[in-house]
Amino acid sequence: DTAVSQTPKYLVTQMGNDKSIKCEQNLGHDTMYWYKQDSKKFLKIMFSYNNKELIINETVPNRFSPKSPDKAHLNLHINSLELGDSAVYFCASSQAGTGLNSPLHFGNGTRLTVT
Amino acid sequence: SQQGEEDPQALSIQEGENATMNCSYKTSINNLQWYRQNSGRGLVHLILIRSNEREKHSGRLRVTLDTSKKSSSLLITASRAADTASYFCATDNRDDKIIFGKGTRLHILP
C-alpha cells in the first residue's frame, strides 16, 4: 500500500494553462505539505496544512492554491502556468504537526514541465 | 536564508568504504533529520536526532549532532551500490519552520 500517493506522476502542459495535482495519504496523519524541488534539487516548502487548516504559506505566487477537502487529501491547483513553474512537486505528510518532531513521508513526486 | 548546507555536494567512493556527509545550519534548531532520495523518487526518512541528543544509530547509519558548531554528520559504513542516492538534511527552528539543505549526491563505485 502506498502511504502518500500523488497523481499524476508526469504533467506536460503549455504556458497559460491551469492544472491540478492530487495527493492522498493513508497514514492517518494530521499534517500535509507541498514542496517544490527545482532542477538543482533544492527542496522548498510551499504550503503546510494541519487538520485541513492552512498553517504555512511561504512566498508562493497566488497562482498556486492548495485545497484540503479532508485531512487525508491535499491538492494543488496552479493557474496560468509559467515556464518557471517547471519542477518536481512533492506532497508529504507527518504525524506530529509542523516541525520535525516526527518523520515526513513523501510521495514520489509530480514532474511538471511547462512548454 | 538557507538553513541546512550539506558538504560535500558530491561524493564518489568504492563499494565497501565508509561515506561521510556533513550538514551545517545557521540558527538554533529543535530537530534535525536526514533523508535519502533515489533518482526519480520521493525522499525517504533515515534518522531523526533531537537538539538534546549527540548521536544516533540505525543499522549502518550513524548521525552526530554538534549544536555548538551548528553541524551534523551522517556516516554510512560499508557502503553498497544501493546507497547511491542524494542525501539531505532538514532542520526545524523554534517557529517549526522546516528547511532542507541542497543535498549531497553519493555515488558508490563497484
Q: What is the pLDDT of residue B44?
A: 97
Cell triple for B51: 537538539
Q: What is the pLDDT of residue B7?
A: 82
Q: Render pLDDT for A13-72 as a digit per residue (tens, 0 to 9).
A: 999 999 999 999 999 999 999 999 999 889 999 999 888 888 877 778 999 999 999 989
Residue labelled with grid coordinates 495535482: A21
Mean pLDDT of chain B: 92
Query: Distance, in angstroms, between B53 CA and closest chain A CA?
Result: 13
Lowest mean pLDDT among A41-45, A79-83, B40-44, B50-54: A41-45
Determine, for residues A90 and B33 on separate chains, whether the beta-carbon distance falls below 8 Å: no
What backbone torsions phi and psi does residue A85 show, to the nearest 5 degrees? -80, -10
Q: Render pLDDT for B45-87 as a digit per residue (tens, 0 to 9).
A: 999 999 999 999 999 999 999 999 999 999 999 999 999 999 9
Instruction: Say how far apart CA B83 and CA A63 lie, in whole Å.
Output: 38
- List the single residue in A with minimal CA-CA distance to B31: A100
CB atoms within 10 A of CB A56: 18
Q: Is the pLDDT of residue B3 over 70?
A: no
Q: Is the pLDDT of residue B89 over 90?
A: yes
Task: Give the confidence band of A99 by pLDDT, cuts at 50, 70, 90.
Answer: confident
B62-101 burial, b for 16+ CB within 10 Å, e for fewer? Answer: bbbbeeeebbbbbebeebeeebbbbbbbbbbbeebbbbbb
Q: What is the pLDDT of residue B2?
A: 39
Q: What is the pLDDT of residue A57?
A: 74
Q: What angle do CA A26, A50, A66 make, to 5 degrees?
A: 85
> What DSSP string runs through B81-100?
GGG-EEEEEEEE-TT--EEE
Q: What is the pLDDT of residue B1?
A: 34
Percent of chain B scored above 90 by pLDDT? Answer: 79
B interface mutation test: which of A43, A89, A102 has the most B CBs within 10 A? A43
Tell me which amino acid residue A68 is.
Answer: S
Partner residues linked to A106 by β-bridges: A92
